Amino acid sequence: MNILEKITNELDMLSKSERKVAEVILASPNTVIHSSIAALAKQANISEPTVNRFCRRLDTKGYPDFKLHLAQSLANGTPYVNRHVDENDTADEYTSKIFESSMASLELARKSLDANDINRSVDVLTQANKISFFGLGASAIVAHDAQNKFFRFNVPVVYFDDILMQRMSAINSRQGDVVVVISHTGRTKSLVEVASLAKENDATVIGITTTGTPLAKECSIVLSVDVSEDTDLYMPMSSRIAQLALIDVLATGFTLRRGSKFRDNLKKVKDSLRSSRFERKD
Amino acid sequence: MNILEKITNELDMLSKSERKVAEVILASPNTVIHSSIAALAKQANISEPTVNRFCRRLDTKGYPDFKLHLAQSLANGTPYVNRHVDENDTADEYTSKIFESSMASLELARKSLDANDINRSVDVLTQANKISFFGLGASAIVAHDAQNKFFRFNVPVVYFDDILMQRMSAINSRQGDVVVVISHTGRTKSLVEVASLAKENDATVIGITTTGTPLAKECSIVLSVDVSEDTDLYMPMSSRIAQLALIDVLATGFTLRRGSKFRDNLKKVKDSLRSSRFERKD
DNA sequence: CAGATTTATGAAATAAAATTTCATTTTTTC
DNA sequence: GAAAAAATGAAATTTTATTTCATAAATCTG
């Protein structure tokens, strides 16, 4: 994808003159994107048609098209890929890597989500008699956050990060109740059991998990949040960030479905916190 | 910087014909980067010189230079800008907007962070006798998450999302203890008080908050997490995602500082969870 | 290793694209 | 509503890129 890498890879396949072009480009790509074909040819001490042939060999239409690809490759280095933290990274380096990996995960997760499933979930949530959010470990905080959000909507909502409470709650659930089960791996035994218990009791079970996991199979609706957890140093990192974004999406969907009067209410909830805060001077 | 935003911003400054050009470009920028000036002029039903003048008005040298800028702006997929959710958005639209806003916030937050402060924080954390994480509301889950992470490091760590517990804990703190106070607004009275109490008792206070807030003034080290909370429908959204990413950074810094033997330990912690999960078939 | 064949290269010609010039139209101002 | 200013496009010009083709270099063959 990145044209600079491609040039490096295909360096052997190039002829002598074409390689001269490649070297000039690799040496200062930022100059090249502002050069005409004539300027580049002169710089590399070869003729203009050679530059043109070089561009075609890299599967671009010609010189202007090549410059476009080059410009894109230079924009922000390589944008938002999962970069691995290295033992010797400086604070600045690992900070960037972690933030960028988080962004990459959000991008991935967004692609794995299906708008239909979100719509159905919002439908079900707005009509629920009771909403429960269940998660364990890192997903517990996602459930915790969901409670914090849905609580503002003045609907009966609970969250449990305790296996026994989750089981009891699942067993007591009934038609019209919605149980949201959150698990990145989708393989946590007790959570899969809880999902199936809730389902047996006619609750609607929404799973926030990775595609195709045991948990996914037990759910009425699956909201797929696929991320690559490569950067993780044995800790869940990107997965919960993507899950939180999904909670935001559900909460937003909920408020939109409820209409504008409802949102005025939310403002009141927020305003009620004002007295607990220091005034803003500006 | 981003030329698409720039076009949007300067839409009012443009003449009628130039605006036509702008609209065609905004509608399908990806087509435009492969069009000649003639093709674009035809598309917008105006003449070629108009396109040229349009390009110059955006401070580019001419059409080819403009295309270069456009290509670079498009290189990061869709640029992550804070897009507002609209009343009539479809599920697909608000999902995209929320994910993109989260990404935009991560980008912003990353820029507001100072590597030096992170380094100092990691120093302090690795040497702490006891670590406490305090947050309220949406920031409570960030504190919760931090506990979940640092707990794996086998260091004494607690988290409180209860005002009284926080106060008591702060009063009992002493030199060598680290108190991490998390608040997006940095104006929550009780948290600011807790920070100052902890400081009076010689604990090191790390604040995860916005630059220049009352809380920031009470802290030994401030980790600035600035995000624009525009998209929020009266709920904290992007801020906590950025804060969580920062927790990841601190946790990562911690493990790096502790060396490779320590990381083997983390692997053991993770492996200990295996029996609670269903096996992977692949 | 000579000769044949293929491949690589650049000069020149051509084509394409972008820019400038300038006359005409539209809009604004008083 | 006339004069001035700004906007616009047709045509000319210039710049840039591509194609053609002749020649040179490299590779192969017996």
Q: CA end-to-end span of chain B, whole Å?
A: 46
Same domain, A148 and A256: yes
CB neighbourhood size of B93 (10 A): 14
Residue B210 clears pLDDT 50, i.e. is over it:
yes
Per-residue pLDDT, averaged over B64-93, amounts to 76
How many angstroms separate the CA of residue A79 from the nearest CA in chain B?
6
Same domain, A55 and A138: no
Distance B54 CA to D4 C1' (A): 24
Decide: CB of A34 under 7 A of nucleic strand C.
no
Q: What is the pLDDT at residue B229? A: 62
Distance B49 CA to C23 C1' (A): 15
Q: Is residue B170 part of a domain?
A: yes
Same domain, B163 and B253: yes
Same domain, A165 and A252: yes
Q: Do B109 and A122 touch (CB under 8 A)?
A: no
Per-residue pLDDT, averaged over B4-30, amounts to 82
Supply the mean pLDDT for chain B: 86
The residue out of A12, A42, A74 marking a domain boundary is A74
Residues B99-122 as b/e (b if ≥16 CB within 10 A, e otherwise) read bbbbbbbbbbbbeebeeeebbbbb
- Provide the percentage of residues in chain B whose pLDDT is more than 90: 44
Per-residue pLDDT, averaged over B181-192, amounts to 93
Q: What is the pLDDT at residue B78? A: 47
Closest alpha carbon within chain B to A238: B245
How many angstroms separate the CA of residue A32 from the nearest CA in chain B?
12
Same domain, A34 and A120: no
Q: What angle do the packed helices B238-258 and A238-258 form, to 10 degrees?
A: 170
Helix (H), strand (E) at residue A237: none
Of B85, B144, B279, which is closest to A144 when you measure between CB atoms? Answer: B144
Q: Is residue A85 part of a domain?
A: no
Residue B83 clears pLDDT 70, i.e. is over it:
no
Residue nearest to nucleotide C9 (CA to C1'): A50
Q: Do A241 and B240 touch (CB under 8 A)?
A: no
Residue B186 clears pLDDT 50, i.e. is over it:
yes
The domain tally of chain B equals: 2
- Point out the nucleotide closest to A19 (alpha carbon to C1′): C8
Q: What is the pLDDT at residue B18? A: 86
Q: Is residue A8 part of a domain?
A: yes
Decide: CB of A199 under 7 A of nucleic strand C.
no
Q: What is the pLDDT at residue A234? A: 61
Q: What is the pLDDT at residue A153? A: 87
Q: What is the pLDDT at residue A243? A: 94
- In degrees and rounded to multiples of 5, residue A208 shows phi and psi of -105, 100
Cα–Cα distance, B122 to B115 (Å, whole number): 10
Q: Is residue A119 part of a domain?
A: yes
Of B91, B141, B241, which is closest to A148 when you measure between CB atoms? Answer: B141
When pLDDT is cut at 50, 70 and 90, the band that residue B231 belongs to is: very low
What is the domain range of residue B143? 108-274
Same domain, A58 and A128: no
Helix (H), strand (E) at residue B157: strand B157-160
Decide: CB of A48 under 7 A of nucleic strand C.
yes
Q: What is the pLDDT at residue B241? A: 93
For chain A, which residues score pLDDT lower than 70? 1, 76-83, 229-235, 260-263, 266, 281-282
When pLDDT is cut at 50, 70 and 90, the band that residue B233 belongs to is: low
Same domain, A151 and A42: no
Q: Is residue A99 part of a domain?
A: no
| Residue A96 CA: distances (Å) to CA of A86, A89, A150, B74 | 12, 10, 32, 21
Give the residue among B153, B209, B139, B105 at the shortest CA–CA distance from A102.
B105
Q: Is residue B203 part of a domain?
A: yes
- Provide the percentage of residues in chain B whose pLDDT is more than 70: 92
Residue B279 clears pLDDT 60, i.e. is over it:
yes
| Residue B82 CA: distances (Å) to CA of A171, A256, B79 | 42, 18, 10
How many angstroms separate the CA of residue B215 from the nearest CA in chain A?
10
Q: Is residue B173 part of a domain?
A: yes
Q: What is the pLDDT at residue A78? A: 44
Q: What is the pLDDT at residue A86? A: 75
Same domain, B116 and B65: no
Cα–Cα distance, B81 to A134 (Å, whole number): 32
